[in-house]
Amino acid sequence: MADVETATEGRGALGERGASGERGALDGVLKLGTQPVAAALMTATVALYMALVAFGNITDFDNNQQFVRHVLAMDTTFRDQDLMWRAITSRTLQDTAYVAIIVWEVLTALVLIAATVWWVPALRSRSRSRSRSDERARRASTLGLVMVLLLFGAGFIAIGGEWFAMWESKDWNGLDSALRNVVLGGLALVVVNLSSSRGALPRSRS
């Protein structure tokens, strides 16, 4: 009788350990769905995108150089004389603006890459040390994402689209792609700055 009870208790203990192990594995998987992980992945996504954009503009310099020249010259717009005084026809100024855009893209990519790297220890750390690491990564991500919004929102949509009337051009119009970039950057910015407490999982009881 005692042997039966011992065997039953052993099976019960094994069952509890098995259930505990399953809960631990499940919690490990669910940690991938926490807010800090989402923020890190969104930051990494935009960092990759901006790095590829900068790389493309550097290696395919002439193609996008023509885009900037035509937008600033306003030579494919409706040529409304009330607006054409805004046009910049100097090749030197046009190319300076294009180089400035590339430099901004490179800096943005570097900031977001650094933020992505800083998210790694932030996700591994615990309690107070995690809070400090998390804050540094969050601030770097915010800075980089705001740079994205300034480039595509203020630069392409506001200045390019409205001031230089890019919306009038059928051939050299980058408003759709700029809007997509603003949406991507804005969404990432929201995710990064959500309260991290929402991503916390309750500790499992073993």
Q: What residue segments make up the domains of the chain, in order of their start?
A: 1-32, 34-197
What is the tens place of the pLDDT at every residue in 85-124?
A: 999 999 999 999 999 999 999 999 999 999 999 999 988 8
Residue carrying structure tokens 């100024």: 93
- Residue 7, CB half-sphere, CA atoms under 13 Å: how many? 4
What's the rounded Cα separation, in Å, for the pair 94 and 63? 14
Q: HSE on the CB side for 174, CA within 13 Å? A: 21
From the list 119, 17, 116, 103, the residue with the least C-alpha distance to 57 is 103
pLDDT at residue 132 in the model: 75
* Token pair of 135 as six digits: 């804050």
> Does residue 204 register a pLDDT over 70?
no
Q: Which pLDDT belongs to residue 133?
A: 76
**Predicted confidence band at 126 (pLDDT cuts at 50, 70, 90)?**
low
